[in-house]
Amino acid sequence: MKKKETALVCFSGGQDSTTCLFWALSRFESVEAVCFVYGQKHVKEVDVARKIAVEAGVPFEVLDVSLIGQLTHNSLTDFNMVMDKEKPEDSYPNTFVPGRNMVFLTFAAIKAFQKGIHHLVTGVSQADFSGYPDCRDTFIRSLNVSLNLAMDTHFEIHTPLMWRDKEAVWKLSDELGVFDLVRNETLTCYNGILADGCGECPACKLRKHGLDLYLKHRNE
């Protein structure tokens, strides 16, 4: 039975957030989506997200937080930086955008507060988090407490993918009936290429590895 409440999904139009969007639609009576422009090279994802949201009948809004790109040097916002194809052994990959998820969820919470929404949904995962510290469960729990204290309310941040690797995310999209949509209409690629993407960036490699495993096990 769906909760007779509204959920606000942090939505980028990628595999994970699209799966989360339909997860939310299966559990909440009403769902809205918020997308962020932060100076990313693959800003095409915003158009992809808007298209999916419209097709799903979900209200969609874009927030400009491009100040992030002025505060940090990383290969997702710096057009002169060569992207790491593998995670360095002793540091984060240069695709890490410091503070990104904190900013996204904070702005989403402010928007939710104004609308009387108490449920936030994000596609972060500790199982497949590429070394990003702001995808960890401890961070989400901590931020949830901080947001509640900051606005004297009770938000609940839902992380349906937290303990799912990419194979399990593909499985969830299949269970939700949107496997083909996620496979063919989402944009995960850091180079801005739809569906299977460029095949070379870390996001594409992670996505393909999970897909190959899922299809192998589904067909056995």
Q: How far apart are CA 107 and CA 165, in angstroms?
A: 27
Whole-Å CA distances, 165 to 129, 141, 188: 9, 20, 15
Q: How far apart are CA 64 and CA 166, in angstroms?
A: 29
Angle made by CA atoms 220, 203, 178, in degrees to the nearest 5 = 50
Q: State the average pLDDT over residues 23-51.
A: 97
Residue 219 has pLDDT above 90, yes or no: no
- SS3 assignment, position 120: strand
Q: Average pLDDT over the chain, rounded to whole?
A: 95
pLDDT grade, residue 129 (50/70/90)?
A: low
Portion of the chain with pLDDT greater than 70, in percent:
99
Q: State the average pLDDT over residues 59-81.
A: 93
